[in-house]
Amino acid sequence: MLKKTYPYYLANQPQQPNADLVVLDKYSGKVATRVAVPDAKATEKAIAAAVKATAPMRAFKPWARQAVLQHCAQRFAERRDELAEALCIEAGKPIKDAAGEVTRLIETFRIAAEEAVRINGETLNLELASRLDGYHGYTKRVPLGPVSFITPFNFPLNLVAHKVAPAIAAGCPFVLKPAEKTPIGALIIGEVLAETDLPKGAFSILTLDGEHAAPLVEDERFKLLSFTGGQVGWELKARAGRKKVVLELGGNAACIIDADQGPHLDRVVERLVFGAFYQSGQSCIGVQRIYAHTDVYDALKKKLVAATKKLKAGDPKNKDVFLGPMIDEAAAERLHDWIHEAKKAGGKVLCGGKRSGNMLEATLMEDVPVDAKANRQEAFGPFALLAPFKKFDQAIALVNDSDYGLQAGIFTDSLDHAMRAWNELEQGGVIVNDIPSFRVDNMPYGGIKLSGLGREGVRYAIEDMTELRLMVMRER
C-alpha cells in the first residue's frame, strides 16, 4: 500500500508543507495518496540550491558518483515490490509490466554507475605542419552545470531514471518535475537519493503543475532542459532561451511484415500484440501502424485478431491481466472518438473499439484513411491499424508518410531489405526482426521530425550534460 502522504524534495531534503496534490488509483478512481506541492518560493530555492551545488558536484569524484548510483540500484532492488505496487496503482500499469519497469530502473542506474568512471577525453595530434612542432592537444568533458527535467506519466520510473542517473554520473545538479498524475515513483527515487552523500542542493524533485513549472523551462541559470512528453515540447524549446534542449515527443510507430515471414507469423504476432497493447498502448514507440505484404496479410490478420481477442483486461493488480486502464477517462475518450471518426471514413474495426470509463478495448482496424487522426497522429492507447503492401518500396513510403520519426520495426529475412530500411526509413532507430517498441537503456534513443531532437540513453545523455574542454600545450 502507498503511504498516506508523500513529500516533495528541496535541496536533497523532504518537505511536507501541505498535501494538496491528490493521486488517484487509475483503475478504481479512488484517492490513493496525497502529495505535497511546492510554492514559487520553494521553486526559486531549488534553482538557487542547484546553482550553489554546481562546484561541489563538479568536485564530487567519479568514484563517488558511481557509489551513489550503485547505492540507488541496490536500494531499488530491495524495494522492488513497493516500487512495482506504486507504479501499478498510480499509473494503472499491469503488475507484470510494473515489475519489468522496476527492473529497467535498476538497470539504468547500474549502467550509469559504469559510465560515471569512464567519461574520458582524448589526445589530439596538433603537429600538422612544421610551424606546429611541439604543440599537443588534450580534451576532457566537464559537467554542464544545473539542469532541469520534465517527465511524463507513462514510464514514471524509467523515464525519470534516464534523466536523473546520467545527471549524477555527469556531475550535474538537477531539478526534476515528474508528471502530476504519477509522481510517486519519482518521489521514492528522491527518498533513496536522500540517503546518499550527494552534495547539498544536488537534487530537487518538485511536484509542480505545468503553469508553475515555467522557471524550469525559462530560467537562464539552467544549462539544459530535457523534456519527454507531447508536442508542447516545441513551445517549451522556444521559451528555453540559450540552454541546450533535448526533446522526446512521441510517435506513431510502424512495423513492416515482409513477404518471407509466413513461417514466422506466430512469433511476429506475439511481438505485435505486445508492442501494440502493453500498458494499454501508452508508449511513444508502441506499435500503431502495421504494414504487411499481401502474401502474408490475410494470415497475419487472422492470427493477430485471434490473439488480441484473448487478451485479459481488468484490474492491473491481477497478475493475469494484460490490459489495464488508460491514464484517465479523457485520454480513453479521445482515442475512442478517433476510432469512430476512422470508422465513419471507411475504416473497419476488426476487434475491440468499445470503451467503459478509462478502459478501452484492445482495438485493431484496417482500411483506415491515410488522413485519419488514428493514422496521422499519436494514438497513445490500445490501438493499431493494418494495411497491405505489394512492393517493398511501397512499405518504405508508407512508413515515411508520417510527421513522426522515432522508431520503426521490420520483420524480414532479407539482408537487402533490412539495410534498405536502415538507410531509407526516416526514423531515429530501425529495429530488425522485432517491434519498434524494443529499447535497451544503453542504446541511443530519440527521433526526428515531430518526434523531437537529441538522444537519450545513458552515455548519450551524459554527453549532453557535459561540455568539451580543450587544453593546448607547447613544449619548451
Q: Name the DSSP class of 362.
A: -
β-strand 31-35 against 429-432: which pairing, if any? Answer: unpaired
Distances (CA, A) of 158 to 99, 173, 228: 12, 19, 12
In the sheet that holds 31-35, the strands lie side by side as 5-6, 31-35, 21-24
Q: In angstroms, rounded to a whole number, what is the distance separating the alpha carbons of residues 172 and 53?
A: 9
Strand partners, 155: none
463 is catalytic: no
Residue type, 311: L
Phi and psi at 7, nearest 5°, equal -85, 165
Distances (CA, A) of 420 to 290, 406, 424: 18, 17, 6
Terminal C-alpha separation, the chain = 69
Phi and psi at 423, nearest 5°, equal -80, -35
Q: In angstroms, rounded to a whole number, what is the distance separating the alpha carbons of residues 75 and 98?
A: 17
Select from 340, 344, 370 the least CA-distant residue to 353: 340
Strand partners, 363: 383
Give rounded-to-5 percent helix, strand, coil for the chain.
Answer: 40, 20, 35
* Cell 525559462 -> residue: 218
C-alpha cell at 188: 521514492
Q: Which of 172, 284, 378, 463 is catalytic?
A: 284
Q: Which of 90, 101, 107, 248 is catalytic?
A: 248
Q: In angstroms, rounded to a whole number, what is the distance separating the alpha carbons of residues 32 and 330?
A: 19
Distances (CA, A) of 186 to 6, 152, 444: 11, 11, 23
Residue type, 17: P
In this structure, are residues 32 and 5 in contact, taking their beta carbons and an 8 Å threshold?
Answer: no
Q: In angstroms, rounded to a whole number, what is the distance separating the alpha carbons of residues 228 and 386?
A: 28
220 is catalytic: no
Q: In angstroms, rounded to a whole number, what is the distance separating the alpha carbons of residues 125 and 296?
A: 56
C-alpha cell at 120: 574520458
Positive or negative, the Cα torsion across 31, 330, 206, 448? Answer: positive
The residues that are catalytic are 248, 284
